[in-house]
Amino acid sequence: MAYETRLASLMNYQKGRVDVIDDDPKNYAFSNIFEVASLAKPFEQVAVAKNFEYVLEAVRAEGTSGWRAATHDQSALVLDGQVEFTFKTLADGHPLPDSGSGGVPEEAAGTLMGRVLARRGHLTLLPAGRAYRLASPAPAVVLIQTVAGPDTQFRWAEICQTA
């Protein structure tokens, strides 16, 4: 059996289909990251996969996000476009969210630590306890591996194929 790998983009994707599997279908979530991102507002964090407390969030990067931070390391995979990640220290005593990532006020983002310019296929670490923000001049798609938090949006009824 021959397999074909198709790389999609925000401007050119085909909605996936459900393949028959020899397993319990409740163990799987079927979604199309590019469709989710095409329908999302900039920087919404829409869960497209979940495993216990961990989630993969599809994020449409467009413009400049606010500052964010988390108590745990996160990873961000750019699936389409170009995204600049800017990192700063976090002001002493600034609280972090109990889970997931959370917004950080501008004044809590301290000294510049550096920047990463990531393009399609690049993986960037979002380090624990540091402030970060994303910026993209044109719509881009980022898949963030994190822990579900207060800003994680679960839209299973909208994004999962049921037929």
Q: Is 32 domain-assigned?
A: no
What is the DSSP secondary structure assignment for residue 25, as one 8-state letter?
Answer: G
Q: Is 24 domain-assigned?
A: no
We report the CATH number of the domain holding residue 128 as 2.60.120.10
Comparing 145 with 13, the larger pLDDT belongs to 145
Beta strands 45-51 and 152-153, pairing class: parallel
Interval 102-142: pLDDT, tens: 999 999 989 999 999 999 999 999 999 999 999 999 999 99
The count of domains in the chain is: 1
Interval 71-88: pLDDT, tens: 999 999 999 999 999 999
Q: Is 26 domain-assigned?
A: no
User: Mean pLDDT over residues 30-45, rounded?
Assistant: 86
The whole domain housing 131 covers 42-155
No. of H helices and E strands in the chain? 2, 10
* Summary mean pLDDT of the chain: 87
Q: Do residues 146 and 77 make contact, with C-beta atoms less than 8 angstroms apart?
A: no
Q: Is 150 domain-assigned?
A: yes
Calpha distance 144→153 (Å, rounded): 13
Closest CA to 79 of 111, 37, 31, 108: 37
Residue 41 token pair: 């507002």
pTM to 2 decimal places:
0.82
pLDDT of residue 1: 65
